[in-house]
Amino acid sequence: MQADVVQIPLSQLALAFIPVVMLLYIMYRWSASPAQGLYAIARMLLQLILIGYVLTFLFATDTPVLVIAMLCVMLAAASWIAIRPLRDIGSTGRHLTYVLVAIGSAGGLTLALITLLVLNPDPWFEPRIVVTLGGMIFASAMNAVSLAAERFAAELSGGAVSDTARRNAFQAALIPLLNSLFAVGLVSLPGMMTGQVLSGIDPLVAVRYQIMVMCMLTGASGIAAAIYLTLAARKREPE
């Protein structure tokens, strides 16, 4: 039996900020720049409120153009954020191209596979599915590529040859992906599954969706990291 989703009153939602306020206090006491934390929280609130309105509009659309445009914006943002650790070492444009290719190809192919073959929605561009899953895929691939890029640059600066740096960077990028596979169902209930269970979905049905999500995120993220490292290492070979 599916239960109605409970809307959280703003007064109760405000209580969720208590742990964050405690963290900001610790940052202040330990001289860890609480201003950065405040900025991150304010940006999170603004981005979520804006995306709420954007998704409300997108979910009511019946044209694939807006959905594809939204995916392109998400891809561009994910790629720009992913190269953040590399902005101090130069060649930002080249690395941005690598990241766009890596996340776009791995994430795009995975999204197409899951959307068209696994879920097969009608219409095929159903915004609630395509935009939601696209955001999950791009975000996970962004983190994996960012870890791989940072580790690859660190290995090279430490004197490692290109192949060794690529191997170590790839292994570093896989750590959070593999940890999430080990922990799911034992240490953590992922967000999508938690939301479905809270909304009254049968847990066994939610498990199927979560298996799909875990395969989707792990595969897309690992492949994106591998593509980026292949491109970056190939550029280093003539040097």
Query: Could you read off the pLDDT of 173-197 as tens digits, one per residue?
Result: 999 999 999 988 877 777 667 777 7
End-to-end CA distance of the chain: 63
What separation in angstroms does the CA of 19 have from each of 23, 133, 163? Answer: 6, 29, 43
The residues that bridge with 188 in the sheet, in sequence order, are 184
As a whole number, mean pLDDT of residues 78-83 equals: 92
CB atoms within 10 A of CB 204: 7
pLDDT at residue 238 is higher than 50: no
Q: Given this model, what pLDDT does residue 60 score?
A: 84
Average pLDDT, the chain: 88
What is the identity of the amino acid at 152? F
Q: Which of 116, 87, 82 is nearest to 99 (CA)?
A: 82
- Dihedral angle sign, alpha carbons of residues 195, 196, 200, 204: negative
Is the pTM higher than 0.75? The answer reads yes
Rg (CA), the chain: 20
